[in-house]
């Protein structure tokens, strides 16, 4: 299919890409999405204006019309971008749902702000969802239906189905899990996945997962341990307790460690976890103010200058240079993580 190959061409920007390249990618992405939706029989409509407001498009699914907003920017999108789109959806026929796609991710407060709102009528997609729909084994329709069910039953507007497994040899394998709302459990999709695990880590976002995977691998290698760690992304801070509760069904009798940023309020974060987590065996590590502080980084500055493969490469470089024992001595949150990986 042409739109699949077209999508692959725009995944990584060329070195020193000009602003015009990013604008062209944005226009190309709109065409790619329309082709994808057409291929799946969802009758997409291109960008149009309604009463003075610009709407990126719309499509049909099971007799309902969905409004669409799709962005592929260089930086994460703030909560204001989502609220602006939500305002457009609010003014339409009762029951209308909006689908907001951000290929560059969302700011830390964006997902939680939407989740804590009075009404939920916007579903969020990230790059991992579009990857699954276009170049993965799923489809846009299947990804959306999964998100709609979770949003309706659990109030979660943005979730990830990826679990990363870290082994002692430094290799990482991405395995697919899905959230089963009927049984409040995360269900393994790959029959070849090794169900045994020594530790399950639940974290906020994709970058957190990558950093935790690198750090856990380094610690395992340093101590020549054969333990296995499963890392689950909750896609937001406020959804962590319910994802952690469900994660206990992935691997039975495995202790769970929750790693989530303090966001400059350790007590509030700790109390939120204590109220929501219903597990017998779990522990928390709350980096202050955020997990990037473990590497001496300012989160916003780091993510502004590093994206995609460049970010992963830089994280790998920084972790390779890191003295994990020295960091454990001076940072209590990392010491919790460090000791948990060793002793769990």
pLDDT in tens, 241-297: 888 887 776 555 678 899 999 999 999 999 999 999 988 889 999 999 999 999 998
- For residues 151-165, give the mean pLDDT: 68
- Residue 177, pLDDT > 70, answer no
- Helix (H, G, I), strand (E, B), or coil: what is residue 169? coil
- Each residue's pLDDT tens digit, 91-122: 888 888 999 999 988 876 777 767 665 578 89
**Beta strand 229-233 pairing with 162-166:** antiparallel
Residues ≥6 apart with Cβ < 8 Å to 194: 165, 228
User: Which pair of tokens denotes residue 74?
Assistant: 């260089």
- Residue 190, pLDDT > 50, answer no
Long-range contacts of 120-123 (CB under 8 A, 24+ apart): 120/151, 120/155, 120/157, 121/86, 121/89, 121/90, 121/96, 121/97, 122/82, 122/85, 122/86, 122/89, 122/97, 122/98, 122/157, 123/97, 123/98, 123/99, 123/147, 123/148, 123/151, 123/157, 123/158
CATH number of 2-154: 3.40.1350.10
Domain spans in the chain, listed from the N-terminal domain onward: 2-154, 162-343
Mean of per-residue pLDDT scores for the chain: 81
For tokens 């509760």, name the residue: 245
Lowest mean pLDDT of 84-93, 141-150, 172-181, name the range. Answer: 172-181
- Residue 230, pLDDT > 50, answer yes
pLDDT for res 125: 92
Query: What gap in Å lies between CA 72 and CA 23, rounded to an integer?
Result: 9
Query: What gap in Å lies between CA 273 and CA 254, rounded to an integer?
Result: 18
- For residues 141-145, give the mean pLDDT: 90
User: Which pair of tokens denotes residue 225?
Assistant: 């341990």
- Residue 338, pLDDT > 90, answer yes
Closest C-alpha to 204, from 172, 174, 159, 164: 159
> Which residue has better confidence, 230 or 4?
4
pTM of structure: 0.65
* DSSP-assigned beta bridge partners for residue 166: 172, 229
- For residues 36-56, give the mean pLDDT: 81
Query: What gap in Å lies between CA 238 and CA 228, rounded to an integer?
Result: 26
What are the φ and ψ backbone dihedral angles of 172, each rounded to 5 degrees? -120, 140
Residues ≥6 apart with Cβ < 8 Å to 38: 44
Confidence of residue 84 (pLDDT cuts 50, 70, 90): confident
Confidence of residue 74 (pLDDT cuts 50, 70, 90): confident
Percent of the chain with pLDDT over 90: 34
For tokens 């790059």, name the residue: 127
């Amino acid at each position: 299919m042409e739109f699949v190959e077209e999508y692959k061409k725009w995944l990584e920007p060329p070195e020193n890409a000009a602003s015009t390249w990013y604008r062209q990618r944005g226009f190309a992405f709109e065409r790619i999405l329309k082709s994808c939706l057409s291929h799946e029989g969802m009758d997409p409509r291109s960008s149009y204006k309604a009463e003075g407001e610009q709407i990126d498009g719309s499509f049909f699914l099971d007799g309902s019309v969905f409004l669409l907003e799709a962005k592929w920017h260089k930086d994460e999108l703030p909560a204001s971008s989502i609220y602006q789109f939500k305002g457009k959806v609010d003014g339409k026929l009762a029951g209308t749902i909006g689908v907001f796609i951000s290929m560059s991710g969302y700011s830390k407060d964006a997902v939680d702000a939407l989740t804590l709102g009075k009404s939920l009528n916007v579903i969020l997609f990230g790059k991992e969802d579009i990857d699954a729909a276009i170049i993965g084994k799923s489809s846009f329709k299947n990804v959306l239906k999964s998100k709609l069910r979770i949003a309706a039953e659990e109030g979660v507007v943005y979730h990830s189905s990826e679990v990363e497994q870290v082994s002692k040899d430094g290799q990482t394998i991405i395995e697919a899990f899905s959230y089963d709302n009927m049984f409040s459990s995360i269900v393994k999709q790959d029959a070849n996945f090794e169900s045994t695990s020594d530790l399950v880590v639940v974290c906020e976002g994709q970058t957190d997962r990558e950093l935790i995977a690198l750090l856990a691998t380094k610690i395992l290698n340093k101590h020549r341990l054969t333990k296995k760690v499963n890392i689950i992304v909750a896609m937001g801070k406020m959804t962590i307790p319910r994802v952690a509760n469900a994660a206990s069904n992935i691997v039975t009798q495995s202790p769970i460690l929750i790693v989530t940023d303090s966001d400059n309020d350790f007590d509030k974060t700790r109390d939120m976890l204590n109220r929501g987590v219903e597990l017998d065996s779990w522990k928390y590590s709350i980096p202050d103010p955020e997990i990037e502080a473990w590497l001496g980084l300012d989160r916003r500055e780091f993510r502004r200058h590093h994206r995609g493969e460049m970010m992963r490469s830089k994280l790998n470089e920084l972790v390779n240079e890191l003295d994990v024992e020295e960091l454990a001595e001076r940072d209590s949150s990392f010491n919790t993580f460090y000791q948990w990986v060793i002793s769990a």
